[in-house]
Structure 1
Amino acid sequence: MPSLSRSELIRKLQDKTNDCLKEFIRPDEPLAILDFPDIKNCGDSAIWLGEIAYLKNRHGKIPSYVSRIEDFSESELKRVAPTGPIFIHGGGNFGDIWVSHQDFRERILDMFPDRQIIQFPQSIHYKSEQRILESARAIGRHKNFVLLVRDEESLHFSQKHFDCRVQLCPDMAFCIGEVTPDAPQFPVLAMLRQDKEQVGTVDYSIYPEIPKEDWITESRRKVRIAKALGAASALLRLRPSELAFRKLDAAAQNRFNRGIRQISRGRAIVTDRLHVHICSLLIGRPHAVLDNSYGKIQRFMNAFSGGTDLSYRATSLDDGVAWAKAQAAANQT
């Protein structure tokens, strides 16, 4: 099968996403999105911006209610969005690696038994059989939960363990569309995890010429300024729900812009982060892909994003670096 161009792949995945979601969004109903990712990881902000871009571009809507885990208000959600679907932010936290998100998700299922709840696309991973059973009970009690997943393994797992509608859907970040990168500053950039999903340890001193970074550090001051500016744009309306949305959306845009600036610096990239892979596709940069601790990236590429010459499935860090160096040399202008 011939490889797809970047534009063709992005359009294909956007259309697939719309096929999955369009039935849940109605022009005469409000909607809510919960578990806003107010964290340093740029990938989560890319997912959020894709969720909002999808709603705006395909349906001309923005959410009536948004919240982080820590400032969620049941009464406020019911006040501003008394009907309509409740969406939960997508990503890779469905399971028992990032337990606070799973605890919150299951609490929402119990809190709103009569509302349709749609999980934006997730990767599923559990280590504990007991936690699988707990999640299955929460989902089984609800009866109107829709679980969208980002890979075939998550699909089969969920169909086996959970009594709900499960559907394969691309990551929401593709709904951002193509992004113009900054000019590269050096041949190869290594964007590698520094959290609980990283695989082993590597002596990076053997690559002294290659910057090794992650994108989970940020300037708190710049994020606070972004939130303040976002809030200022909504002051005339004096609606708390609009104010919350503008603040959080501005923070996500700030983090995403930071991530794009960071990865743009490499003419070619080596990564074990799913959203460095996705954002590299959005900016059109060649990149070698390793994997995280439980195979999330390869699973996603098998389902959706592997059909382009921009990405290379590396067998090791050495293999990925060698490929990236060759791509950087070939693309040097």
Structure 2
Amino acid sequence: MTLQSNQTLITKLEGMIHDCLKDYISHDEPLAILDFPDIRNCGDSAIWLGEMAYLKKRYDKRPTYVSRITDFSPEQLERIMPTGPIFIHGGGNFGDIWDAHQDFREQVLERFPNRQVIQFPQSIHYKSQVRLDESARVIGRHKNFVLLVRDEESKEFALKHFDCEVRLCPDMAFCIGPIEPEKSEIPVLAMLRSDLEKVGDADLSAYPDIPKEDWTTESARRVRVSKALGAATALLALKPAEIRLRKLDAAAHNRLRRGIRQISRGHTIVTDRLHVHICSLLLGRPHAVLDNNYGKIRRFMAAFSGDTDLAYKATSLDDGIAWARCKADQSSLPQLSVLRSDLHVRPVG
């Protein structure tokens, strides 16, 4: 796939996202986004920044209220924003693998039975019938819940089990648009899961030259930078909701920049993370794709991003590494030294 055709894919997916969301967002009505991803996973920060970029590009607006799970205040939301839709951050935590997020989602539905609640695109996976039944009861009691999903299997599952509006929608990270990569340092980088969604334990002992990594955590210095930004904005006598939004945006920008630097080091990449796949597409980097433990990545690729020469559906770790090595030997990607300027934190106004 050429860089031009990769841009065509990204533009196409951005258009599909707008076709889904335009029915729930207006220029004049305020909206909230809940469950900011205050975690090391750079992919979740990419989703958040895609959500923010979409609102900016299409509506020139920002959410009126945002929160993490830990600092959510229903009373504050109602005071600041008595009307308007409530959005919940997208990702891959709809179900019972990541209980805290599902618990929070259902609490929001129960707390706001008369407000429209829209779930940004998610992948769905349940192991427990008991938990599935409870989710179905909560969703069934709420008569204005919209569930956007990232693959056909999740759509079919939701239509079967949940009494709500269900629509297929690409991942919000595509709204960031193309990202200029930093210069690569190594031929192949293995970005492999180390969490609950991993498949076994990937053994790279036969490949001592290939680094095996997962998303790294931010340094203490970067945390201090985000805190300093919050202190500086407070001096400007901004509204508390805007101060919170700026602080969360700063953290998301820091995390995504860190993630882009990390994966840009590989001329080619082998991964079982969906957002390493998505970020590799935004970077224009070739990559071999394995899957997580319930098929999330292949399901997403089948729906949206599988028709690209940049991504190879590997049958095994060895197969993926062999393809990545071959691609690294053959390709000569343009190397750029900076990220897109709009991925840098800057004042909003």
Instruction: Name the TM tier (shorter chain).
Output: over 0.9
DSSP-derived class of the 1:292 partner: coil
What amino acid is aligned across from residue 178 of structure 2 in structure 1?
E
Alignment partner, residue 344 of structure 2? none
Alignment partner, residue 255 of structure 1? 255
**Is the alpha carbon distance of 1:139 and 1:256 closer, same or farther for their aligned partners in structure 2, counting shifts above 3 Å?**
same
Distance in 2 (CA, whole Å) between partners of 1:88 and 1:228 is 27
Alignment partner, residue 131 of structure 2? 131
What amino acid is aligned across from residue 145 of structure 1 in structure 2?
F
Please state how far the C-alpha of 1:204 moved relative to its aligned partner: 1.5
Aligned residues: 332
**Is the alpha carbon distance of 1:224 and 1:3 closer, same or farther for their aligned partners in structure 2, counting shifts above 3 Å?**
closer
- 1:231·1:247 contact (CA, 8 Å) conserved in 2? no
Pairing 1:301–2:301 present: yes
Please state how far the C-alpha of 1:228 moved relative to its aligned partner: 2.5
DSSP-derived class of the 1:167 partner: strand
Which has the higher mean CA deviation after the structures are superposed, 228-237 or 118-127?
A: 228-237
- 2:152·2:299 contact (CA, 8 Å) conserved in 1? yes
- 1:185·1:267 contact (CA, 8 Å) conserved in 2? yes
**Is the alpha carbon distance of 1:170 and 1:4 closer, same or farther for their aligned partners in structure 2, counting shifts above 3 Å?**
farther
- 2:188·2:267 contact (CA, 8 Å) conserved in 1? yes
Alignment partner, residue 64 of structure 1? 64
- 1:3·1:307 contact (CA, 8 Å) conserved in 2? no
Encode CA deviations 1:138-187: one digit per residue, 9 max, x unaligned: 00000000000000000000000000000000000000000000010010
Alignment partner, residue 195 of structure 1? 195
**TM-score when normalising by structure 1:** 0.97
**Is the alpha carbon distance of 1:158 and 1:12 closer, same or farther for their aligned partners in structure 2, counting shifts above 3 Å?**
same
Distance in 1 (CA, whole Å) between partners of 2:228 and 2:142 is 38
Which has the higher mean CA deviation after the structures are superposed, 85-94 or 194-203?
A: 194-203
- 2:3·2:284 contact (CA, 8 Å) conserved in 1? no
- 1:3·1:308 contact (CA, 8 Å) conserved in 2? no
Alignment partner, residue 266 of structure 2? 266
Alignment partner, residue 54 of structure 1? 54
Alignment partner, residue 159 of structure 1? 159
DSSP-derived class of the 1:204 partner: coil
Please state how far the C-alpha of 1:80 moved relative to its aligned partner: 1.1
**Is the alpha carbon distance of 1:172 and 1:227 closer, same or farther for their aligned partners in structure 2, counting shifts above 3 Å?**
farther
Distance in 1 (CA, whole Å) between partners of 2:261 and 2:223 is 15
Which has the higher mean CA deviation after the structures are superposed, 226-235 or 187-196?
A: 226-235
Distance in 2 (CA, whole Å) between partners of 1:309 and 1:26 is 37
Pairing 1:7–2:45 present: no
**Is the alpha carbon distance of 1:278 and 1:228 closer, same or farther for their aligned partners in structure 2, counting shifts above 3 Å?**
same
Distance in 1 (CA, whole Å) between partners of 2:81 and 2:231 is 21
Pairing 1:36–2:41 present: no
Please state how far the C-alpha of 1:217 moved relative to its aligned partner: 2.3
Aligned pairs (5 A) from 1:177-192? 177-192=177-192
Alignment partner, residue 278 of structure 1? 278
- 1:227·1:251 contact (CA, 8 Å) conserved in 2? no
Distance in 2 (CA, whole Å) between partners of 1:160 and 1:53 is 32
- 2:50·2:174 contact (CA, 8 Å) conserved in 1? yes
DSSP-derived class of the 1:5 partner: helix
Distance in 2 (CA, whole Å) between partners of 1:121 and 1:206 is 38
CA-based RMSD of the aligned residues comes to: 1.5
Please state how far the C-alpha of 1:234 moved relative to its aligned partner: 5.7
